[in-house]
Every structure is written in structure tokens, then in C-alpha cells.
Amino acid sequence: MSSVLSHDQPRLAGTRARLAKPELLAPAGSLEKLKFAVHYGADAVYIGGQQYGLRSNADNFSFDEMREGVEFAAKYGAKVFVATNIYAHQEDLAGVADYLKELENAGISAIIAADPAIVETAQQVAPKLEVHLSTQQSTMNWQAVRFWKEEGLPRVVLARETSMDEIREMKRRVDIELEVFIHGAMCSSVSGRCVLSNHFTDRDSNRGGCCQSCRWKYDLKADERSVADPEMNLFTMSSKDLCMIDHLPDLIDAGVDSFKIEGRMKSIHYVASVVNAYRQAIDSYMDNPEGYALRSEWLEDIGKAANRPLNTGFFYTTPGAEEHIYEPEEKAAPFDFAAVVTEYDEDTGIATVQQRNFFRPGMEVEFFGPGGRRFVQRVGDMTDVEGNSLEVARHPLQLIRFRTEHPVAPLDIMRKRIG
């Protein structure tokens, strides 16, 4: 993991007397991920329905699942947003009005939209739905922000290419909510406006079919001959991932209203780890801005789930060649999601966990939960729920019991080191 602490950016001097607490907005590619994101501290989650979104390969939500997700989130005081952020062709618009009405009826708080046709339709047929402008609109200046405010939108999701100075100028000139990506994958094209996927695979990036062609391995050729150094590996066009946990005070002081984590296609382990770290960091700063300090365990938790090297994107400077990944990526994070706690017996200290990855007695594992609870132990004797002794946990979703050295709670996660 590349250290985000190496970016020697100066802290902004002083803080405003009254700072609104920013929203922590997390991705949820499935109903189960939604529940983990909210349980681990998200104030809001964004999901995809089965139409009009840019992640057609995610486990997108049916209307019944949306209603269940809204009900679950409401217990935590959290909201649910739905991405309807495609750029629509004419045939895509059939049925969009009915779809938006169903979102409103399901209790969805807002949609994230890019196409003016979808924006206008939502305002006309589903007035209880807030419309947040998608990052797909590549908004990077205050005049554009003002335009969308005048169109009746309460929030703009800024392009990933926006700088900290530009954000300050927007907040100074326009009274509107600003949402920015603060963690996750960066796009090699301007805020997702990629045509390579269409060209290579006939899958439209801007209609939900991105094939992630920037992650492929490439050679450099002229006249069918390779002109690359024969000693050089094939290269990618992939960007390093964004991580702003070390710069939350700057973002808050600039007036950012919503901190957005990318990753509807990411794992439960990733979502829980990253949301947990940012939740603690935001709360710590808001409780005591003057005494705030980044904690090493927050970076460690992010590192245990990170798939790529990290940087600060466009916030402080325009990324150069050093901010791209040219060598083949190390895909696997250093830790795997091994199990999730379903029950805990305080009298016996026995936890029941649901298996998500292979583990066995004697293996060192780490438990963690919301708010920074975590501990490391070795797995002891294991049984199934009928009391039969087990030598290995190899069956997906199998319920397994063993003693934990400290109390755990439902939805706590057990992870193991890879290798």
C-alpha cells in the first residue's frame, strides 16, 4: 500500500466556528452490502436499480429489495439514493417516468442523474425525490454549479478532476450541497466519459456496460510490430486509487457536504473496512478539530482492503505519469473476508459465524466491528451448529461455532491474512 502520508500538503490554517458534519456516503452493490455499509457507519448509501444505472454487472436492486433497504437504513437514520446516471439514447427513455415514480413510492431519498431528460422527468413526475447531479456531468466550475442550482437541484456531485481551490470557490459563490469522491477507483477518462469499452467490446460505458478496458494489459505496436522495450512488461492505463483520509480537515474546511466512497462492485469486506475507517476519522475530527490526529489503525484498516496503490487524485495537483499503474496490478488485498458473526453467547463466549472463506483451527484471524473494535486471535476447536467437531471450514455460508477471546456482535467481520 502506498502511503497517503507521503503527500506533504499543508493543513489549512484554522477552522470555521460552526462546521456542518459532512455526510458519509457509501456504495452498496447488493442488499447485504447496504446493510453492512449502514451498520458500519454510513449516513447514506447509493445503490443501482435494474435500469438506468452505470453498473449493470452489479447485483442491482429490485423494488422489493429497495423497500427492505430503505426500512433497514431508516433504523440507523440513514438514507438510500439510487443511481439513474446513464446517458440515455431515445430507446432508453421508454418507461423512465414509471420507474422514477416507483423509486419515490419505495421511499428512496434521491436519485443521482446525469441526463437532463431524466432530471426533468424526475422533477415532473416524482417531486418527493431529490435529484443529485451525477459526476458524469463533469462539473468543475462554479458557473456550472450555479446553473444546476437554478434548475432546481439541491446537490452536485463534482467531477473527480476538481481541485480543492475550485471547491472553495464553488462554495463561496453558490449556496448548494457539494458531493465529492474521497476514496476508491479513479477513471482514466474524464469522469467516466470513456469510449474504449464501446470500441473493444461493444459495451457502452455510459449506459452501464463498462468492461474496465483501462485495466487490461497493452503492448505498443507500429505496423503490426511491437516497438516496446522487449524487457518491459505489458502495461495498463490504470490509475492509482484515491484516498483522502489524511486530508479530511481540508475537505471539511472547504465546505464539502458529502464524502463519497466509490465501489458498488467491491466486496463486503472492502465496504465495511473503508466505511469504518472514515466514520471514525470524521467523528474524531468533528468532536475535537483542534486536537485531531490521523490514527495509524485507520490507515491499516484501509490497507487491509485496498487493491491498488493510493494517492490524492486532483485535489492538490494534476496527477502525472507517476500516478498511473503501468506494471501488472497486484489484485488481491492482503486480507480475505473469512466469516461474519451471526450470534454471540455472552455466558459461554461462543460465537456463531457464517463462513465466507476457508479457515481452520490454529489459523490466526482478526475480528473487527463498528467504531474501531478489533482483536486478533487463533481459531480454537470448531463445531457445526449440531455440535459436530470440524477440522476445516470449507463450505460457503456454513454456520460454525468456536470460542472468541473477546465479545463480538452480529455483523462483526472475521478476516484472515492471505498466504
Neighbours of 136 (CB within 10 A): 23
d(CA 16, CA 256): 13
Compute the C-alpha angle 338/343/347, nearest 5°: 120
Neighbours of 347 (CB within 10 A): 5
CATH number attached to the domain at 335-417: 2.40.30.10
Of 349, 356, 355, nearest to 405 by C-alpha is 349
d(CA 325, CA 331): 12
What are the strands of the beta sheet with 382-384, ordered from one edge?
A: 374-378, 364-368, 413-417, 335-345, 350-355, 399-403, 382-384, 389-390
User: What is the model's pLDDT at position 117?
Assistant: 96
Query: What element of type H or E holds 403?
Result: strand 399-403
Query: What element of type H or E holds 350?
Result: strand 350-355
By the 8 A CB rule, do 285 and 248 touch? yes
User: What is the model's pLDDT at position 17?
Assistant: 38
User: What is the model's pLDDT at position 143?
Assistant: 98
Q: Strands 221-222, 225-226: parallel, antiparallel or unpaired by DSSP? A: antiparallel
- 3-state DSSP assignment of residue 39: helix
202-239 in b/e form (b: 16+ CB < 10 A) is ebbbbbbbbbbbbbeeeeeeeeeeeeeeeeeeebbbbb
User: What is the model's pLDDT at position 88?
Assistant: 87
Task: Break the chain into its structural domains and give their ranges.
Answer: 4-192+237-325, 335-417
d(CA 69, CA 379): 33
d(CA 150, CA 212): 35
CATH number attached to the domain at 4-192+237-325: 3.20.20.70
Q: Strands 335-345, 324-325: parallel, antiparallel or unpaired by DSSP? A: unpaired
Rounded to 10 deg, the angle between the 142-150 and 164-173 helix axes is: 40
- 3-state DSSP assignment of residue 272: helix
From first to last of its 419 residues, what are the pLDDT tens digits of the chain? Answer: 434 433 344 333 333 334 579 999 999 999 999 999 999 999 999 999 987 766 555 568 999 999 999 999 999 999 999 999 888 889 889 999 999 999 999 999 999 999 999 999 999 999 999 999 999 899 999 999 999 999 999 999 999 999 999 999 999 999 999 999 999 988 777 766 677 777 777 776 655 567 777 777 777 776 666 655 655 666 667 788 999 999 999 999 999 999 999 998 899 999 999 999 999 999 999 999 999 999 999 999 999 997 788 999 999 999 888 887 776 655 557 899 999 999 999 999 999 999 999 999 999 999 999 999 999 999 999 999 999 999 999 999 999 999 999 999 999 999 999 87
Q: What is the 3-state secondary structure (H, E, C) of 305-329?
A: HCCCCEECCCCCCCCCHHHEECCCC
d(CA 79, CA 97): 22
380-406 per-position pLDDT tens digit: 999 999 999 999 999 999 999 999 999
By the 8 A CB rule, do 20 and 257 touch? yes
By the 8 A CB rule, do 74 and 34 touch? no
